[in-house]
Structure formats: C-alpha cells, structure tokens
Amino acid sequence: MKTTALTLIIILSISCQSNPQETVIKNKNMKTAIVYASNHGTTEKVANLIREKLDSSTVEIFNLKKKPILDLSNYENIIIGGSIHAGSIQSEVKKFIKEHTVSLMEKRIALYLCCMNEPQEKEEFNANYPELLRNHSVYNAIVGGEYIFEKMNFIEKFLVRKISGVSVNTSKLRPIEIENLVNAISNEEDN
C-alpha cells in the first residue's frame, strides 16, 4: 500500500513538473508577431518576406483587416506594418496601436511603412506612427511600395494616374530596408 502511494506521488510530481516546461517551449515557438493591414497586397507581401527571413517557426502573421484574436502576451517581438493611401495609414493599424500602446511599450517592436511618395515619405511615417512607438522601435523602415493597377478600383486608378503620373504597374520595394529591419529584430533576439 505504502509503495503504491509513493509511486503515485512520484508520478504526480513528474507530471506537474512537465506541464510548465511544455508551456515555456510553446511560448518560445511563438516569439514574433507581424501585425499588418494592406489594401492591395504589398504590405502583406512584405510581412511574408520578413517571416521568410526570420525563423518562420517562431513567427506568426496577423492581418488586422480580418479582425484577428491576438494575445500579445504570447510574443516578445511585435512588427507592425501598414501602407499610405491619401496620406494616411489604415485605420486598423491606428486602432491596433491605440488599443495596445501600453503592452507594445513593454515589447521589442519594429515598424514598417509601404508608400510611394518619396519626397513625403519621412513626414508620412512620422505622421502615422506615434512618436512614442517610433522612439521605442528597434527599427523604423520605409520599405517603398507598389502600384498594382488590376487591384485598384476606378477612382484609385484615376487618382494614382493624376497624382503620380504613373499608369503601369510599378514596384519600388526596398529589399535593403526589409533586411535592416530583420537584422535589427534578430540582433535583439540574440541579446
């Protein structure tokens, strides 16, 4: 009887120890969240490029337009991406930042922006990402952008042609900026 009780206690204590270890391993595997909004797919493309360059088993991607259920406590690194349309980043990105500012300040974060108006890009970045986050971010990347006409509606096509003078598909992504962001987040991970 005594032996059975002792065996039970040993089994119980081993199983109690193994659960917290499993939780830690699970959390380790979910280290980086890439949170983005995209109108025509370019910011999404950049999110996927970042995931490929990081260890993809530790990265999860969340499209804010799909209203994901996202628990930031599972992640140590948060990368936020959006794009500029008529001077503004997506409202979903603004809302996400507003709702999570306090927890974002406790994480390692990096910010990226897709846009095509080169002379205005710095102002656009500063106007759309709050100063608090920009200063806290390990890397602020302006990654360029794309015009993809078949994804634009009639008004968008008209505006892009009129304002930029461009009327064919154009890609001006900046791989070096994507690389810099990935390196900054990876270096932080090594610390």
Ligand X SMILES: Cc1cc2nc3c(=O)[nH]c(=O)nc-3n(C[C@H](O)[C@H](O)[C@H](O)COP(=O)(O)O)c2cc1C
Among 35, 47, 54, 114, the residue binding ligand X under the rule CB under 6 A is 114
Cα(51)–Cα(113) distance, integer angstroms:
16
* Among the residue ranges 6-14, 52-60, 62-70, 111-119, the one whose residues contact ligand X (CB under 6 A): 111-119
Extract long-range pairs of 97-105: CB within 8 Å, 24+ residues apart.
97/129, 97/130, 97/133, 100/72, 101/130, 101/132, 101/133, 103/72, 103/73, 104/72, 104/78, 104/133, 104/136, 105/132, 105/133, 105/136
CB of 133 to ligand X, least distance (A): 19
Check residue 39 for interaction with ligand X (CB under 6 A): yes
Check residue 68 for interaction with ligand X (CB under 6 A): no
Among 70, 138, 159, 184, the residue binding ligand X under the rule CB under 6 A is 159
Question: Each residue of 158-167: b (16+ CB within 10 Å) or e?
Answer: eebeeeeeee
Check residue 38 for interaction with ligand X (CB under 6 A): yes
Among 32, 51, 145, 177, the residue binding ligand X under the rule CB under 6 A is 145
What is the binding site for ligand X (CB under 6 A)?
A: 38-43, 83-87, 114-117, 121, 124, 145-147, 152, 156, 159-160
